[in-house]
């Protein structure tokens, strides 16, 4: 057996802080509370319900992931965060309208105690939003300091041994990497000079990483995905990952397209359209925020299908993604896909997918898994980009010389093999000759 990594035990409380306490964050927090109270099951969470095979198929070793790697217990989690609105988590759940009212009422005593801290926010970066619960600061560096103080105070007030930060805030406008993002020195100067290329999500990421705290980004904006913050993460020993939770339509895309490619079925066109009516939908109604999301959603197919290797099958693929803000649906999004495929001798076929999904129901277990796995990574001394957590994201962050893996099943294998590697177990290659070579 290979040697296991030295992983510090998950002792004491783990604070989970989310910048942004809207639909996803409140559904996550209420969900964990419901599970802790024995009212519901953690469906959709790999860390809570998934098993992992170890060794040969004949050995029958398939423990639960949470019994295999040393994760924080759900009973040890403490929640907090920031928002531009003052709603506590009970009120936020009510407004989001994701969970059933009876459940929210039952959890009211715990949820109403969780109140957001005042946010670092600038309406320039999220055009459709404005709120009163915002920090006043003269410079971005002062705002970063204020966030670091918030984290320290939260940690003390709640007796937390460790903390992780997961961005569940709105999608910011599209920003390109620029000079200020290239090194920690230029970034820190940019914070002092109030450089407009430093968005609020980058200030949160900076504050967390400066404290050596793991940071994940659930939205498509750059946030920690810049060389300056990668440098900082490595310097302070903080693991990072992102971007954009893989839920809904893109989840379906990364489940279906690897299957078509495996069977060498061609694709001419993939038209995706959505209606959704939550606050996220409203923010994405702004063309600048939509552009950030569109980039993230469009990248997936090209990378899975590799048209440069398969020009006859995917060289002419027309891929279109639309998001339409439609208030009557609230968080209950409907996503349609029309897929024009072709088979043997080029004969055309069509596939239609109509996914009546619940966005935050799909996202909440990802927040839980990311909090627990990033905390594990931190205790295992893994710093910087954690590509094995690509499984959870639409736009996985990778170093500049690599292309991201979007195929959900490759991502799953990578994640599980990383857990086996951490614990000194053999990698599973699925070759399987050992069962036949006697
Ligand atoms: N729900 C999903 O399935 C899903 C999937 C992928 C990505 N996302 C992304 O996750 C994020 C959260 O989604 P949601 O449905 O909870 O949206 P939401 O609008 O309900 O919640 C976002 C919250 O962030 C707050 N916010 C915005 N800027 C902030 C800042 N600078 N500091 C603190 N708070 C801030 C807003 O006030 C709002 O309450 C969005 O960016 C969304 O695009 C969601």
Of all residues in the chain, the percent with pLDDT exceeding 90 is 89
Look at residue 37 in the predicted model and tell me its pLDDT.
Answer: 95
Residues written for the chain = 438
Q: Please say whether the beta carbons of 28 and 369 come within 8 A.
A: no
pTM of the predicted model as reported, rounded to 2 decimal places: 0.97
Q: Is residue 360 lining ligand 1, measured as CB closer than 6 Å?
A: yes
Look at residue 334 in the predicted model and tell me its pLDDT.
Answer: 93
Look at residue 35 and tell me whether its pLDDT is greater than 80: yes
Look at residue 346 and tell me whether its pLDDT is greater than 90: yes
Look at residue 437 in the predicted model and tell me its pLDDT.
Answer: 84
**Which of 16-20, 378-382, 403-407 is the least confident region?**
403-407
Neighbours of 423 (CB within 10 A): 18
Q: Is residue 29 lining ligand 1, measured as CB closer than 6 Å?
A: no
Q: Is residue 363 lining ligand 1, measured as CB closer than 6 Å?
A: yes
Look at residue 138 and tell me whether its pLDDT is greater than 90: no
Q: Is residue 281 lining ligand 1, measured as CB closer than 6 Å?
A: no
Closest ligand 1 atom to 201 CA: 31
Top pLDDT among 31 and 298 is at 31
Q: Please say whether the beta carbons of 44 and 365 come within 8 A.
A: yes
Q: Please say whether the beta carbons of 94 and 88 come within 8 A.
A: no
Residue/partner pairs of 296-299 with CB below 8 Å, 24 or more apart: 296/220, 296/243, 296/244, 296/250, 296/394, 296/395, 297/249, 297/250, 297/272, 297/321, 297/394, 299/394, 299/395, 299/404, 299/406
Distance of CA 367 to the CA centre of its chain: 7
Closest ligand 1 atom to 126 CA: 28
């Amino acid at each position: 057996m290979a040697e296991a990594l030295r992983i510090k035990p998950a002792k004491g409380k783990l604070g989970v802080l989310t910048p942004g306490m809207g639909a996803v964050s409140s559904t996550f927090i209420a969900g964990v509370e419901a599970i802790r109270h024995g009212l519901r099951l953690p469906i959709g969470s790999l860390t809570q319900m998934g098993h992992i095979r170890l060794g040969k198929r004949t050995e029958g070793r398939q423990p639960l992931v949470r019994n295999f790697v040393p994760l924080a217990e759900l009973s040890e989690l403490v929640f907090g965060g920031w928002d531009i609105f003052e709603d506590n988590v009970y009120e936020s759940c009510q407004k989001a309208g994701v969970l059933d009212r009876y459940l929210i009422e039952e959890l009211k005593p715990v949820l109403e105690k969780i109140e957001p801290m005042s946010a670092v926010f600038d309406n320039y970066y999220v055009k459709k939003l404005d709120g009163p619960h915002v920090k006043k600061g003269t410079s971005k560096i002062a705002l970063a300091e204020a966030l670091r103080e918030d984290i320290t105070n939260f940690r003390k007030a709640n007796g937390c041994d460790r903390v992780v930060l997961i961005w569940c805030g709105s999608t910011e406008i599209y920003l390109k990497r620029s000079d200020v993002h290239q090194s920690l020195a230029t970034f820190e100067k940019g914070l002092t000079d109030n450089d407009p290329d430093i968005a609020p999500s980058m200030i949160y990421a900076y504050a967390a990483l400066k404290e050596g705290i793991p940071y994940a980004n659930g939205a498509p904006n750059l946030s920690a995905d810049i060389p300056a913050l990668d440098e900082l993460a490595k310097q302070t020993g903080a693991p990072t990952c992102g971007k954009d939770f893989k839920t809904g339509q893109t989840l379906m895309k990364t489940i279906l397209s690897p299957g078509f490619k495996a069977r060498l079925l061609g694709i001419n066109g993939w038209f995706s359209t959505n209606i959704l009516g939550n606050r996220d939908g409203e923010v994405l109604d702004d063309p600048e925020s939509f552009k950030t999301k569109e980039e993230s959603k469009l990248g997936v197919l090209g990378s899975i299908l590799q048209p440069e290797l398969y020009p006859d099958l995917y060289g002419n693929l027309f891929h279109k993604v639309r998001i339409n803000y439609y208030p009557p649906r609230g968080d209950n999004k409907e996503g349609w896909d029309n897929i024009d495929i072709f088979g043997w001798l080029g004969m055309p076929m069509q596939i239609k997918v109509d996914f009546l999904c619940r966005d935050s129901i799909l996202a909440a277990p990802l927040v839980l898994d990311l909090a627990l796995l990033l905390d594990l990574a931190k205790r295992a001394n893994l710093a910087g980009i954690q590509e094995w957590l690509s499984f959870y994201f639409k736009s996985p962050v990778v170093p500049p010389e690599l292309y991201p893996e979007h195929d959900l099943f490759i991502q799953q294998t990578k994640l599980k093999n990383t857990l086996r590697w951490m614990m000194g177990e053999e990698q599973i290659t699925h070759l399987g000759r050992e069962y036949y070579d006697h």
